[in-house]
A and B are shown apart, each in its own frame.
Chain A
Amino acid sequence: MNAIIISAVWGVLMMYAGFFLQSKRSIHLFAIVGICLMIACTAYEFLNGLPLFAIDTKGLLQYSNYALVFLMIVLISTLLYFILSGSEIDATGKSTTDLYALVFFILTGIAVVAGFRSLLMLFLGIEIVSIPLYVLAGSDKSNLKSNEAALKYFLMGSFSSGLMLMGIALIYGDVGSFYLDAIRAGFGMLTPMKGAGLLLILASMSFKVSAAPFHFWTPDVYDGSPTVFTSFMSTIVKSVAFYAFLTLFDHAFGKLHEHWKLLVAIIALATLLIGNITAVFQQSVKRMLAYSSIAQAGFMMLSVFAINTFAKQGLLLYFAAYSFATVGVFAVLSKMKDHSIDSFNGLSKSNPFIALSVLISLLSLAGIPLTAGFFAKYYMLLAVIREGGMVWLVVTAVICAAVSVYYYFRVIQAMYFKDSAEADGTEFSPYFKWAMVLNAILIIVLGIHPDLILNLI
């Protein structure tokens, strides 16, 4: 609850801050203060169980511990993102404050999604997240690809929102309520109307998380958008979509799990295969990361398939592991001259600390033990095994994880085993270096003690 209000207010403040704050550094600092304030207030709400602002939402929004931990993970990822990619945000577009303001409005949407207890709020939240994102995707106005990405994203996004609305309408028509609890109570039997509604919502949610076969927009949009916003889109926003997916299907449609779980299993399987296999052939790191984000979505889909305790706990861990690692790699990538794998050549010699941090991030994405990524994947696999009867899905998933090693390690090979032909002019500030090292330490700590997050829930 705190997060909604603070992010909305801070977004507005951010817009006006352009008048008062002249230097980019102070704008950047102002944004970081806002995020820190949000983290502090969310932590306060988590510890005390009471928000600072008591507002009667008529049960439309409720913040469980699970929701608050999720919110904290998203906010901490955003903080890391601001710290690591701040200078890139400054470099994109003319009015930095507007861009920061849009990010804060997205956070408002995220906070709404985190607490939704009604389909209405879900739709509202997702739209609040999406609309500023369309703008961010096209924020590099002089770049044709950025414009293309924004248009594509907008068209496809609004289409899937339409599908979702249709689905919601059908379910409302059958059950007579938007509230998740009421829907759950009314979902004892599968009627054609419910089935159609469920399918439409499944399709539109799959679109939002870029699961196959609804993933076609992803590579182009991720590739065309300014790298710094690709990073935000593919980590934090994707986490929110998954959180909504899991919560909705767990709370509202949980009783019909037997009916839709095979469908989700097939989607997960297709996503894993398509994401991983296509990523192998990419020459640009940015596009590779776009496909890798589809591949990782395949793993996260496993939690929607299983919806048991392991799945719910593990998904939060997955958000943290995936966001920290991806934000780190993207931050370095956005400072490179071009996005080819060769631009990473010899990074271990010129910038050993940066290379080490990228290495740890990539190992985490590949799911190597002692990094957060390992336990994230571990929980997803365990959740499916716990569900029983779907060992083939687990075996495919781990083989896909082995395939993913192939493309993540190409970057590692470039950094450590190849020499760069010419001295790369890329400069990293000490501030950035320390932030990267901190990010890597976070990944390792979560890899050794995943219970730091799991015990909170």
Chain B
Amino acid sequence: MFAAIDNFPALLIWIPLLGGLLSFFVKDAKQAKSSAIVFAASSLLVLLVSMNYAGKENLQVNQVSYEWLSAIGSNFGLILDGLTRSMSLLTAIVFLLVFLLVPSDQYKAAHKFYGLMLLAQCGLVGVFLATDALVFYLFWELALIPVYFLASIWGGEKRIKATFKFFIYTFIGSVLMLVAILYMYNKTNATSFGLSAFFNLNNTASEQYWLFGAFFIAFAIKMPLFPLHTWQPEAYEQSPAPVTMVLSSVMVKMGLFGLLRWIMPLFPLAVKEFNTSILVLIAFGIVYASLVAIYQDNIKRLIAYSSIAHIGLMAMGILTLKEVAVSGALIQMFNHGINILALWMIAFIIERQTGISSISKLGGLAKKAPVLSIFMVIAVLANVALPLTNSFVGEFMIFNGIYQSNKLLAAFAGLSIIFSAVYSLNMIKNVFYGTESQAASVVKDIRGVEILIFIILTVLILIVGIYPQPFFQMFSDALGLILTKYNS
């Protein structure tokens, strides 16, 4: 079984699932942590090996399909192509680094914590890999449930309300998507849920408008796009740090991914019809979120709003339908995951050591924690999209595309970059430099594993920033499918 190349996508799902279930039976916290690390690492390993095969035997696309509910035409279909490879790579890296960072005594009942985390990984990878709409929907929900429990059990004071809001929002979006899926399934004469079968449906324009609406609401809630973003700052603030990391680096990508994999190929008429108005709405949302971020005093809320702005920018890039902007968004999805992970990790370390997440109460940490502050500067510069960092590549291409489609919009959205510099640099200034606060006396510098994690993140930031070519090669096939109905 392990020898067959075909099994790579399935392995990516089974490994975290197995790890998650096993973890519930490990009572010792340290053992639970190490087993979680082993399972996350082996996921990453499988993925790297699969890429190696893709290069050698020219297997760009690794597709499998297992019989599941053949009576209703649903197969357990999975695919590893450029798009899903980069997303699963991001997922694997994020989970591994999160497991490495968080000490095993951080949370009570650690074995359950790691178990649920791995189950969440399973759900997320499943969302990215599925080629069958029903399977996609199942994983879409399955990714949500463990995250809901993680956030509600180990989260902050107002966790129950915040996470429930998050759950209800997402659930409403996803049931609407289910209706659209069933509608298309019915149009295939109740024979198939496959992406390719849906692709060949030739829905009329008015049908596409409704279907697009149902899918888009689900994805827009997940991303989240203005004005459906209200669940996000609270959920990020109240969730335990590892969950926030997973939420903001991987889970919000589910929305963008859905846009690329499902909406773009399936509803070209609707996308062409609505993209201008949505672009304007998103541009407004981006500037709004950036402005709100400037006035945040809580680090977590600041990062949350900054994330809304950046995700919005990627969504804009995709909806311009320009090839350069779409590939920019593709690479930026990966980059944003890495950058925001670095930011959350720094916020986590600061809060764990000082117990404070309010910017105004922090200050002058750089003297006591020089190494941490260096990494912080790198992460922030990457978030601001400075040249030589990974984001520069992606956001430059996205803006290029927006500029091609509408100059005014590009200028307006460009404001968000300026604002982003304002709040990010302000944060550095107030947290690491300036007058020394009480918090500065308790803070300790990072060491050991933590330094290793940040070195890995920095390397990823710089490598993609300097030499993004391999990524673009990886995306070439996915790009074809996404834009095929728009090129005529």
Asked if A401 and B160 make an inter-chain contact with CB atoms under 8 angstroms apart, the answer reads no
Number of interface residues of A (CB under 8 A): 28
Minimum Cβ distance to chain A for residue B478 (Å): 26
Asked if B182 and A378 make an inter-chain contact with CB atoms under 8 angstroms apart, the answer reads yes
Asked if A417 and B168 make an inter-chain contact with CB atoms under 8 angstroms apart, the answer reads no
Asked if A386 and B172 make an inter-chain contact with CB atoms under 8 angstroms apart, the answer reads no
Asked if B168 and A416 make an inter-chain contact with CB atoms under 8 angstroms apart, the answer reads no
Q: Is A441 an interface residue (CB 8 A)?
A: no
Asked if A409 and B167 make an inter-chain contact with CB atoms under 8 angstroms apart, the answer reads yes
- Give the distance in Å from the alpha carbon of A399 to the alpha carbon of B69 in the complex: 26
Minimum Cβ distance to chain B for residue A210 (Å): 24
A233: which B residues are within 8 A, CB to CB? none
8 Å CB contact of B178 from A398, A413, A416, A454? A398
Q: Is B474 an interface residue (CB 8 A)?
A: no
Minimum Cβ distance to chain B for residue A315 (Å): 16
Q: Is A391 an interface residue (CB 8 A)?
A: yes
A450: which B residues are within 8 A, CB to CB? 69
Q: Is B466 an interface residue (CB 8 A)?
A: no
Q: Is A385 an interface residue (CB 8 A)?
A: yes
- Give the distance in Å from the alpha carbon of A140 to the alpha carbon of B142 in the complex: 43
8 Å CB contact of B175 from A391, A402, A416, A455? A402
Minimum Cβ distance to chain A for residue B149 (Å): 7
A409: which B residues are within 8 A, CB to CB? 164, 167
Asked if A399 and B168 make an inter-chain contact with CB atoms under 8 angstroms apart, the answer reads no
A368: which B residues are within 8 A, CB to CB? 141, 145
Q: Is B1 an interface residue (CB 8 A)?
A: no
Q: Mark B146-178, 1 if CB is under 8 A from A, else 0.
A: 000100110000011000100110011001101
Q: Is A406 an interface residue (CB 8 A)?
A: yes
Asked if A382 and B186 make an inter-chain contact with CB atoms under 8 angstroms apart, the answer reads yes
Q: Mark A371-398, 1 if CB is under 8 A from B, else 0.
A: 0000000100110011000010011001
A310: which B residues are within 8 A, CB to CB? 190
Asked if A385 and B186 make an inter-chain contact with CB atoms under 8 angstroms apart, the answer reads yes
Known: A382-B186, A417-B152. A405 touches B168 (CB 8 A): yes
B72: which A residues are within 8 A, CB to CB? 451
Known: A405-B171, A406-B168, A409-B167. A417 touches B178 (CB 8 A): no
Q: Is B483 an interface residue (CB 8 A)?
A: no
Q: Is B59 an interface residue (CB 8 A)?
A: no
Known: A382-B182, A386-B186, A405-B167. A417 touches B159 (CB 8 A): yes
8 Å CB contact of A399 from B167, B172, B182? B172
Asked if B71 and A417 make an inter-chain contact with CB atoms under 8 angstroms apart, the answer reads no
A449: which B residues are within 8 A, CB to CB? 69
- Give the distance in Å from the alpha carbon of A381 to the alpha carbon of B180 in the complex: 11
Which residues in chain A, 403-435, are within 8 Å of chain B measured between CB atoms?
405-406, 409, 413, 416-417
Q: Which residue of A lies closest to B69 (CB)?
A: A451
Q: Which residue of B lies closest to A386 (CB)?
A: B186
8 Å CB contact of A381 from B69, B137, B153, B179? B179
Asked if A399 and B183 make an inter-chain contact with CB atoms under 8 angstroms apart, the answer reads no
Q: Is B185 an interface residue (CB 8 A)?
A: yes
Asked if B153 and A398 make an inter-chain contact with CB atoms under 8 angstroms apart, the answer reads no
- Give the distance in Å from the alpha carbon of A386 to the alpha carbon of B171 in the complex: 24
Q: Is B409 an interface residue (CB 8 A)?
A: no
Minimum Cβ distance to chain A for residue B172 (Å): 5
Q: Is B292 an interface residue (CB 8 A)?
A: no
Grouping DSSP codes into helix (H, G, I), strand (E, B) and loop, the A interface class, with mixed when no group exceeds half, is helix
Q: Is A370 an interface residue (CB 8 A)?
A: yes
Q: Is B138 an interface residue (CB 8 A)?
A: yes
Q: Is A369 an interface residue (CB 8 A)?
A: yes
Known: A386-B190, A405-B168. A417 touches B153 (CB 8 A): yes
- Give the distance in Å from the alpha carbon of A381 to the alpha carbon of B184 in the complex: 13
8 Å CB contact of B164 from A394, A401, A413, A416? A413
Asked if B183 and A416 make an inter-chain contact with CB atoms under 8 angstroms apart, the answer reads no
Known: A382-B185, A386-B190, A413-B160. A398 touches B152 (CB 8 A): no
A369: which B residues are within 8 A, CB to CB? 137-138, 141-142
Asked if B176 and A398 make an inter-chain contact with CB atoms under 8 angstroms apart, the answer reads yes
- Give the distance in Å from the alpha carbon of A401 to the alpha carbon of B182 in the complex: 16
- Give the distance in Å from the alpha carbon of A395 to the alpha carbon of B159 in the complex: 30
Q: Which residue of A lies closest to B173 (CB)?
A: A402
Asked if B152 and A395 make an inter-chain contact with CB atoms under 8 angstroms apart, the answer reads no
Q: Mark B200-214, 1 if CB is under 8 A from A, else 0.
A: 000000000010000
Asked if B182 and A385 make an inter-chain contact with CB atoms under 8 angstroms apart, the answer reads yes
Asked if A416 and B179 make an inter-chain contact with CB atoms under 8 angstroms apart, the answer reads no
Asked if A402 and B168 make an inter-chain contact with CB atoms under 8 angstroms apart, the answer reads yes
- Give the distance in Å from the alpha carbon of A449 to the alpha carbon of B76 in the complex: 13
Asked if A391 and B153 make an inter-chain contact with CB atoms under 8 angstroms apart, the answer reads no
B175: which A residues are within 8 A, CB to CB? 398-399, 401-402
Minimum Cβ distance to chain A for residue B120 (Å): 14
- Give the distance in Å from the alpha carbon of A310 to the alpha carbon of B186 in the complex: 11
Known: A369-B141, A454-B71. A385 touches B149 (CB 8 A): no
A399: which B residues are within 8 A, CB to CB? 172, 175
- Give the distance in Å from the alpha carbon of A327 to the alpha carbon of B171 in the complex: 26
Chain A interface (Cβ < 8 Å from any Cβ of B): 310, 363, 368-370, 378, 381-382, 385-386, 391, 394-395, 398-399, 401-402, 405-406, 409, 413, 416-417, 449-451, 454-455
Contacts A369-B137, A381-B178, A451-B72 aside, 4 further interface pairs with beta carbons under 8 A come to: A310-B190, A417-B153, A417-B159, A451-B69
Q: Ordered nearest first, which 8 A-B pairs have the shortest CB separation?
A: A398-B175, A369-B138, A402-B172, A369-B141, A385-B186, A417-B152, A385-B182, A451-B71
18 A-B pairs (CB sep. < 8 Å): A369-B137, A369-B138, A369-B141, A382-B182, A382-B185, A382-B186, A391-B210, A395-B176, A395-B179, A398-B176, A402-B168, A402-B171, A405-B168, A405-B171, A406-B168, A409-B164, A417-B160, A455-B71
